[in-house]
Amino acid sequence: MKVITELKALREAIHHHKQSGCSIGFVPTMGFLHEGHLTLVKEARKQNDIVVMSIFVNPLQFGPNEDFERYPRDIERDSILAENAGVDILFIPVAEEMYPGTTSIKMNVTERVNVLCGKKREGHFDGVVTVLTKLFHLVQPDRAYFGLKDAQQIAVVEGLVQDYFFPVEIVRVPTVREEDGLAKSSRNVYLSEKERSEAPVLYESLEKVKNKIESGETSGDSIISEVTDFIHSRTSGQVEYVEVYSFPELTPIDDLKGEIIIALAVQYQKARLIDNMIISLNEEENQHV
Ligand code: PAF
């Protein structure tokens, strides 16, 4: 595995691989790698000749109350994990090169952001699309890999790629789960024993309504009530939101049809958990496909 920190060296390496006709799979990260990231690498490894991972804690996507300085970093451990997972190029740029000074253009995401977790993270996705625009130009990937755990990020990135004609395929990688269905997250360690035993109810609630939708339920409101009540009656966690939208547009829908997302957030004492389910419905028959 080659570790590259300078933009010029990355451009040269990418040029070399492009000239040789290699396909490039890209896994952008902010480091402190976990199983979710390694699953993205595994998928990228299967579909591409070269796998590039970036590690860059992007200051632009942190709000004033989100602690950029305290974001966990461990480059040594990350390098070992990345290499073992099969990364060919690990790109670790420095902020001075990524953001060399004042810019003449600012990116502002206007759709898909004022819902779900984005409601409380003003400007977050502006920072995400800004850094990804830079990274996509530098890495020139054929495919870029994102986890469905953060479905809103995927929706926004798909919007970016579509609106600005980036020649990259966005690959949606399914959420990695514990055996009992709980979505894997570094935050799970903050759950008490009792909360951890209750937390699989989040995924159970999504599975339950998926069955209901497959059996013909078409009302988004009734799905929202059902998920909320199910979670409320089975855990001490406070339901922060349960929302249903078209996907990836993230617009409200009255009737459930096409591709939809049911997404939720539950606040426990020291951990806020999110989960979601994306369901593709045949428009005509309202059947799960
Ligand atoms: O998901 C993340 O880790 C970040 O938002 C990303 C995509 C690497 C952009 O900084």
CATH number of residue 55's parent domain: 3.40.50.620
Of 109, 138, 173, the residue that ends a domain is: 173
Q: Report if residue 97 sits inside a domain.
A: yes
Q: Which two tokens stand for residue 32?
A: 């402190």
130 lines ligand 1 (CB under 6 A): no
Structural domain boundaries, residue 127 = 2-173
Q: Count CB atoms within 10 A of the CB of residue 195.
A: 19
Quick one: angle between helices 220-234 and 201-214, nearest 10?
Answer: 150
pLDDT at position 66, please? 85
Residues 145 and 208 in one domain: no
Query: Are both 136 and 26 inside the same structural domain?
Result: yes
**pLDDT for residue 285 is more than 80:** no
Contact present, 119 and 49 (Cβ < 8 Å): no
Q: Which parts of the chain are beta strand (E)?
A: 2-4, 24-29, 50-55, 89-91, 143-147, 169-173, 238-246, 258-267, 272-282, 287-288
251 and 195, same structural domain?
Answer: yes
Which residues have CB under 8 Å from 119's CB, separation 6+? Answer: none
Is 16 catalytic? The answer is no
Per-residue pLDDT band at 288 (split at 50, 70, 90): very low
**Does residue 178 fall inside a structural domain?**
no
Q: Determine, yes or no, domain membership for 64.
A: yes
Shared-domain flag, residues 254 and 146 = no
pTM, to two decimals: 0.94
Q: 162 and 25: one domain?
A: yes
User: Residue 181 domain-assigned?
Assistant: no
Last residue of a domain, one of 173, 198, 218: 173
Looking at the fold, whether 155 and 200 belong to one and the same domain comes out as no
Q: Which atom of ligand 1 is nearest to the CA of 147?
A: 1
CATH of the domain at 197: 3.30.1300.10
Residue in 16, 17, 37, 288 annotated catalytic: 37
- 266 pocket-lining for ligand 1 (C-beta < 6 Å): no
Q: Is 31 in the pocket of ligand 1 (CB under 6 A)?
A: no
Residue 284: what pLDDT? 54
Q: Which atom of ligand 1 is nearest to the CA of 58?
A: 10
- Residue 191 is predicted with a pLDDT of 95
Q: With both helix axes pointing from N to C terminus, report the angle between 124-139 and 151-163 in degrees, rounded to the nearest 10.
A: 60
Domain count, the chain: 2
Nearest-CA residue for atom 1 of ligand 1: 29
Average pLDDT in the 218-236 region? 96
Asked if 36 and 101 sit in the same domain, the reply is: yes
Smallest CA separation from ligand 1 atom 6, residue:
29
Between CA 114 and CA 248 the distance in angstroms is: 14
| Ligand 1 within 6 A of CB of 113 | no
Q: What is the pLDDT of residues 46-73, one digit of tens each?
A: 999 999 999 999 999 999 888 899 888 9
